[in-house]
Amino acid sequence: MSLSVRSVATTPFDGQKPGTSGLRKRVAVFQQEHYTENFVQAIFTAMPAPGPKNAVLVVGGDGRYFVKDAVQKIVRIGAANGIAKFIIGQNGILSTPAASAIVRKRQADGGIILTASHNPGGPKNDFGIKYNMRNGGPAPESVTDAIFAATRSISEYHMADIGNDIDLAALGTQKFDGFEVEIVDPVNDYVELLKDIFDFDLIRQFREKTPDFKLLFDALNGVTGPYGRRIFVDELGFSESSLEQCEPLEDFGGGHPDPNLTYAYKLVERVEKEAISFGAASDGDGDRNMVLSHDWFVTPSDSVALIAHYAAECIPYFKRSGVHGLARSMPTSCAIDRVAAAKGLEVFEVPTGWKFFGNLMDAGRLSICGEESFGTGSDHIREKDGIWAIVAWLNIIAHVNRSTPGASVRSIMQDFYSIYGRNYFTRYDYEEVESDGAARMVDRLRSFISETESDSGIVGKVFGGFTVAKVDDFEYTDPIDHSVSRRQGIRVIFDDSSRIIFRLSGTGSQGATVRIYIERFDPSSFDIDAQVALKPLVDAALEISQLEQFTGRKEPTVIT
C-alpha cells in the first residue's frame, strides 16, 4: 500500500518569523487551527537541498505542555512531505544538546526541537519550534528567512493519514507505509558522548577521596532530570540527595526554568544553607547552566574562560584534538579574550545566538565558546550544552585537587584572576516592558552613535567618573561565509575599556525585554562584590538610557 496523503487548505498567519532560537509563542497561539501545521509545513518547504524526500529527521523536545501533540503533527506532515525516517526521543523527550548529538551521530538530515528554552511552560505559557541543520546546529538566517517566506505564501499543508497516534512510549522501530519511526532512549547516546569527552574515572576517584565534597544539581523540572540522574548518580556515584527538581514536568512545576540567581532560588538557598561545595542548574531544554558554591557565584563569562584555560590540560577530548579557537557573544565579558591571548589562540566576537558559532566550528576554527546568558559549549555538538559545562567543571575541580587538595570553586576562580585579572560583569533584565517605549529608548541611543565628540552626542562626556570614548551598534561579518549581521547591540565604550551594552531581546513571547550589560576590568582587586564594583557604571547606564522615563521601570526583573 502507498501512503495516503491529504492536502488541507489554509491561509498564512502573521508573525511566524523564527528568531534566534526558532518560533516562540504562547501555547494558545500554537493551538489555533492550522497554526502549528502551517509552520511545520513551512519548515519542510524551506528545508535545504536535497529537501525532505527520503530524509532522516530527529524530533524531540523539553517535555513542556503541547510537545506530544506537536510531535504527532510533525510526523504526519513530515511523512506527507517525504521524510523516510523519524528518530524520536521516548515520550517526545530530547534535550536540545542530546538532539544535536543524535543528529550528528546518526548523520540525520536535520532535526525539529520543541522548546521555548528557559521560558515558562504549561497551557497558559510558552511553546516553541526550532529547526536544526544536518550539522546539528540551529538554522542560519538564510534558512529561517526561507521558512518565514514560506509561512507568508502558504496555501495548503500536507498530512499523512496513518490512523492512530504514534506510540511515543515504546522503544524500537515502528514501520508505516513509506516511512518508519524509531523511538530512542533520550539519554543513552548523550551520556556515551560525555564519557568520551571527560575523565569520568578522575571525577569518581575525586569523589571517593573527598567525602566532604557535596554536589547539588537542580534540573528545575526541565528535561535534564533524567540526564542528571544517569550522569551524577549512576555514573559518577553521587547520592540521590544530590538531585533537586529532577522530574520533567509539562509546566516545570509552575516555575521559570531559567538557571539564574533569581529563578533557581531553591538551589541557591540549599547551596548556602547546606554549605554545598558545588551547585549547578540547567534550564528547560538543557542548553544553559549555572555554577556556584556556598561562597562563590561563577558568572557565565568567567565560567567559559576558566574552562578554556584548563581544557587542553585536563579534559581528554581537548587533550586529543587540541583547542583551535575561542569565541564569545558580543555582550559576554572579555575574560575569554585574555585566555586566548595568553595561549596564542584566535578569539571571535559574534552576535548573540548560538548559530553564529556553528560556521566557525564547521571550519575548524573554534573549539570552546560561550554566552553571558548562561550558555557554554564546544565543538562536540552544535548547540550550547548545560550538562557539558557542569561536567567540565567537575573534571577541572578533580584535576586541580590532585595537586592542590581542598581546592574549591572560589579558590580556583581566585587563581584564575591572579593570572588574568577580573572582568567584573553584570546584566540587568527588564522583562515584558511596553514595546513602543523600549523602541523609542533604543532609537534615542542610536542617535548617539559616534567616534567623535559632538554637541548632540555623548562621546567625550563623563558619567560616574567614566569618559565615553565611542558609541556604536555592533555589526558582524562572518569570516567563513561573509554574511553580515547589523544592529546587534548598542555599545557605549569608555576610555578605560569598560563597556555598557543595550539590547532589545525577542525571545520572550510577550512585550519586549531590555537587557543592559555592564563590564569593567580590574587587574588586581578580585574580591569586591560585582554590584558594588559596577554601581557607578550601572548608574551611568540608567542616566544615559533614561530607561525609567521610557519604560516606567524603576527596578530590573532579574540581575545576573
Q: Are 171 and 185 in contact (CB under 8 A)?
A: yes
Q: How confident is the model at residue 457 (pLDDT cuts 50, 70, 90)?
A: confident
Q: How many CB atoms lie within 10 A of CB 119?
A: 25
CA atoms within 13 A on the CB side of 298: 33
Statement to judge: residues 172 and 264 lie in one domain: no
Counting residues of the chain whose pLDDT is more than 90, the rounded percentage is 92
> Does residue 141 carry a pLDDT above 90?
no
Domain termination site, one of 355, 388, 420:
420
Query: Contact 234/187 with Cβ under 8 angstroms?
Result: no
- CA 186, 191, 196, 198 torsion: positive or negative? positive
pLDDT bracket for residue 508 (50, 70, 90): low
Q: What is the pLDDT of residue 21?
A: 83
- Range 433-437 average pLDDT: 90
Question: Quick one: pLDDT at residue 295?
Answer: 95
Q: Is 103 helix (H, G, I), strand (E, B) or coil?
A: helix
- With 0-12 / 13-18 / 19 or more C-beta atoms within 10 angstroms meaning exposed / middle / buried, residue 42 is buried
| Cell numbers 520543541: residue | 114
Distance CA 199, CA 312 (A): 13
Q: Does residue 543 have a pLDDT over 70?
A: yes
Q: Return the sign of the alpha-carbon dihedral for residues 218, 221, 223, 225.
A: positive
- CA 427/CA 298 separation, integer angstroms: 14
- What distance in Å separates the CA atoms of residue 143 and residue 285, rounded to the nearest whole number? 22
Residue of 131, 390, 351 lying closest to 359 (CA atoms): 351
> Cell triple for residue 181?
519511526
> How would residue 332 be classed by pLDDT, with cut points 50, 70 and 90?
very high
Q: Which amino acid is at 82?
A: G
Confidence of residue 505 (pLDDT cuts 50, 70, 90): confident
CA of 83: how far to CAs of 8, 79, 177, in Å?
18, 5, 12
Q: pLDDT value at position 353? A: 85
For 210-236, write each residue's pLDDT tens digit: 999 999 999 999 999 999 999 999 999
Q: What average pLDDT does the chain have? A: 96
- Lowest-confidence region among 232-246, 447-461, 486-500: 447-461
What are 376's three cell numbers?
557554554
pLDDT tens digits, one per residue of 89-112: 999 999 999 999 999 999 999 999
Question: Does pLDDT of 274 surpass 80?
Answer: yes
Residues 144 and 276 in one domain: no
How many angstroms separate the Cα of 297 from the Cα of each of 40, 259, 429, 432, 511?
Answer: 41, 12, 18, 27, 30
Are residues 200 and 177 both part of a single domain? no
- Partnered with residue 19 across adjacent β-strands are 22
Task: Check whether residue 401 and residue 446 sit in a common domain.
Answer: no
Number of residues written out for the chain: 560
Q: Are 298 and 277 in contact (CB under 8 A)?
A: no
Total Cβ atoms within 10 A of residue 273: 9
Please check the confidence at residue 450 and state whether its pLDDT lies above 80.
no
Residue 22 cell numbers, joined: 526558532
Q: In terms of domains, do 127 and 210 share one?
A: no
Amino acid 455: pLDDT: 66
Last residue of a domain, one of 186, 211, 227: 186
Cβ atoms of 507 and 19 closer than 8 Å: yes
Query: Is-contact 429 515, C-beta < 8 A?
Result: yes
Question: Would the pLDDT of 43 be above 70?
Answer: yes
The reply to whether 155 belongs to the active site is no
Q: Which three cell numbers stand for residue 524?
A: 588586581
User: Measured on CA atoms in the order 20, 94, 192, 390, is the torsion positive or negative?
Assistant: positive
Q: Residue 351's pLDDT band (boundaries 50, 70, 90)?
A: very high
pLDDT at 354 over 70: yes
One domain, residues 26 and 56: yes
pLDDT band for position 1 (50/70/90)?
Answer: low
Catalytic residue, chosen from 21, 95, 100, 117, is 117
Count the Cβ atoms, other than its own, within 10 Å of residue 147.
23
Report pLDDT for 509: 55
Q: Residue 311: pLDDT band by 50, 70, 90 thresholds?
A: very high
- Residue 400: which CATH number? 3.40.120.10
- The pairing of strands 172-176 and 56-61 is unpaired
Say how far apart CA 1 and CA 454 lie, in whole Å: 75
Which strands make up the sheet holding 278-282, listed edge to edge?
A: 243-244, 215-218, 278-282, 289-293, 296-298
pLDDT value of residue 355 = 85
Domain enclosing residue 258, as ranges:
190-420
The pLDDT tens digits of the residues spanning 198-207 come to: 999 999 999 9
Concatenate the DSSP letters of all residues of 29-64 into one string.
Answer: HHTSTTHHHHHHHHHHHHPPTT-STT-EEEEEE---
Q: How far is CA 179 from the centre of its chain?
A: 32
C-alpha cell at 383: 548547540
What CATH number corresponds to the domain at position 552? 3.30.310.50
Q: In the predicted model, what is the mean pLDDT of residues 284-299?
A: 97
* pLDDT for position 510: 66
Q: Which residue type occupies 57?
A: L
Which cell is 313 given? 590540560
Q: Which of 420, 444, 467 is the last residue of a domain?
A: 420
Q: How many CB atoms lie within 10 A of CB 7?
A: 11
Q: Are 394 and 288 in a shared domain?
A: yes
Which of 160-169, 362-371, 498-507, 536-545 is predicted least confidently? 498-507
* For range 43-53, the mean pLDDT: 96
Quick one: 120 and 143 in the same domain?
A: yes
Q: Give the C-alpha separation, 392 to 188, whole Å.
A: 19
What is the rounded distance in angstroms from the CA atom of residue 64 to the CA atom of residue 255? 12
279 shares its domain with 404: yes
If asked whether residues 416 and 473 sit together in one domain, one would say no
Average pLDDT over residues 355-367: 94
Question: Could you tell me which residues come within 8 angstroms of residue 229 by beta carbon, excluding any fewer than 6 positions away?
Answer: 243, 246
| Whole-number pLDDT of residue 358 | 92
Residues 345 and 292 both lie in one domain? yes
pLDDT (tens digit per residue) in 386-412: 999 999 999 999 999 999 999 999 999
| Shared domain check, 427 and 411 | no
Q: How confident is the model at residue 63 (pLDDT cuts 50, 70, 90)?
A: very high
User: How many domains in the chain?
Assistant: 3
Measure the CA angle with vertex 314, ends 310 and 318; round to 5°. Answer: 85
